[in-house]
Chain A
């Protein structure tokens, strides 16, 4: 059995035995319940929803369904970030400071295998979590609105990719920073990504090219945000006219489509982050 697989199994077992999954399941059930309740309530009042007069034809149900799905996507990315950070924030320096790492690292498996094992475990957990909660939000919105998004699998995969990027960043942070500092930095990067996304929306709304470029550059530098934006865009990619424009300019919509280049960049980013983490870990005195 390869060292990375053993370490991944160990990390997963640790999460199960520390009841991480039980807590996550309980809190996620609460979130999904609240989301279902809110979605049902919102759609009770869809008929009253009007914006101005003579602006254009508004598909109120489509707008609200997209907004609720966008809200769900945001919440899922946030929850996945929390999960990713707490599964990895002390993986190297934190565990070394507590004396947990040394007995493992002196074994022949190698530090890179250990790092890959930790990444595989955390990324897998996040992927399964994102897939399940995303499926739940899709079903809830469909149940309330009778609508499906323009793309079903793409946005979910984008979120899974985004969570993998965050896991890789948090793992890199765990090599360079103490557990607390790593947690703070990762959440700040997450916040910076979200701000960049909102800036993109604002830039689109006011027609500011330079602001849009800055925001786009930040989103590319933090590809979890670019993937999230691409996922949001895919939800309503086929929507046109006034409703489509309104969704794309809103806080839970995006005008930035993804594509193979972004996917490639995100994959390369993960590989690069892990390579730097492995290099830093190999040079670290424990």
Chain B
């Protein structure tokens, strides 16, 4: 049952994607294009023929339980891991090629900068490696974006984990990448830091930067992402806009006699329902249109996959 639902969602996502122009057409090169991507580590298959597209300026969230293959997918995209099969392209260039690496910025889930280096030095090194000629102005702008301008002379080893993570985000933005691959970028951040990252991602989207955001924080993904792909067991088990993934949960109408529930009703049916109740003499105090949250959609998709695997 769950599999059927999943398949329906994937195809729906594709249809909607094409209709709204969210997925790159033949004329627009995708920031990230992944087709039938497979990866095996010995006997373990981390990715089973995964398809995913991220259009320029699009913010896509990658969700899934631990071991779902999210980090493997991101690592293949940035050339750290070689795929066992299928294709991955970054801005039209094969993933891992010099052209592809030139086009992307990456923040690893588990990364470290040398403790002896100062924030400014870390960015300078990455500017040199990325061939960026932005100089001090670029470094200042990046540090300002992640609220680390005052810490530019601070050594990494003296920074909190959150500061290091923000420096990691600044590092990923060196050279003005067209695709940003962020693997758990807010895992060490406090709510203020997370808000800062959300604002930053929205600014990047306005600038046309594509972002693939790998995160466990569903609420965050729901808030900021244009689309979401849910991975489980190395497969895309659900994908689409967050609003597409959640589904109607009925309507609740608060009347003088108590709350009346209409589990099958949709938002469009609310005026008719209210009119019917009023005609029947009920007094209406409130109406709530219920939808499932992304978390529920996620659990449903992942749970279904796990049940299938167990079967």
Contact = CB atoms under 8 A, between A and B. Distances in A.
A170 B168 CA distance: 30
A107 B111 contact: no
B78 A106 contact: yes
Nearest to A110: B98
Interface string B54-86: 000000000000000000000100111110000
A14 B155 CA distance: 13
Given A14-B114, A286-B75, A103 B106 contact: yes
Contacts of A45: none
Interface stretch (B126-134, B217-225, B245-253, B299-307): B126-134
B108 A3 contact: no
B111 A106 contact: no
Interface in B17-44: 41
Given A6-B125, A99-B108, A100-B112, A106 B80 contact: yes
A102 B80 contact: yes
Given A106-B106, A107-B101, A285 B82 contact: yes
A106 B74 CA distance: 12
A53 interface: no
Contact of A103 (B41, B111, B128, B131): B111
B140 to A, nearest CB: 20
Contact of B129 (A6, A14, A100, A285): A6
A105 B104 CA distance: 12
A27 interface: no
B215 interface: no
B18 to A, nearest CB: 31
A224 B117 CA distance: 34
Interface string B77-118: 011111000000000000000100110101110111110110
Nearest to A14: B114
Most buried by A among B102, B104, B128, B131: B128
A272 interface: no
A49 to B, nearest CB: 51
Counting chain A residues whose Cβ lies within 8 A of the other chain, the interface size class is 20 to 34
A104 interface: yes
Most buried by A among B81, B102, B112, B129: B129
Nearest to B117: A17
B130 A105 contact: no
Contacts, number: 64
Contacts of A110: 98
Interface in A48-89: none
A168 B113 CA distance: 25
A286 B81 contact: yes
A5 to B, nearest CB: 9
B171 interface: yes
Contact of B126 (A100, A107, A285, A286): A107
Interface in B226-269: none
Contacts of B117: 17
Contacts of A100: 111-114
Most buried by B among A7, A104, A106: A106
A7 B114 CA distance: 13
Nearest to B104: A106
Contacts of A7: 129
B130 A99 contact: no
Given A102-B111, A103-B108, A6 B101 contact: no
A98 B106 CA distance: 17
A242 interface: no
Interface string A79-121: 0000000000000000000111011111111100000000000
Contacts of B125: 6, 10, 104
A286 B80 contact: yes
Contacts of B110: 99
B128 A99 contact: no
17 contacts: A7-B129, A14-B116, A98-B112, A102-B108, A103-B113, A103-B168, A104-B129, A106-B79, A106-B80, A106-B101, A106-B106, A108-B129, A283-B82, A285-B75, A285-B80, A285-B82, A286-B80
4 A-B pairs with the lowest CB-CB distances in the bound complex, closest first: A107-B129, A17-B116, A99-B112, A286-B80
Given A108-B101, A108-B130, 16 more contacts: A1-B128, A6-B128, A6-B129, A18-B116, A99-B110, A99-B111, A100-B114, A103-B106, A103-B107, A103-B113, A104-B129, A106-B78, A106-B79, A107-B101, A109-B129, A286-B80
Interface of A: 1, 3, 6-7, 10, 14, 17-18, 98-100, 102-110, 283, 285-286
Interface of B: 41, 75, 78-82, 98, 101-102, 104, 106-108, 110-114, 116-117, 125-126, 128-131, 168, 171
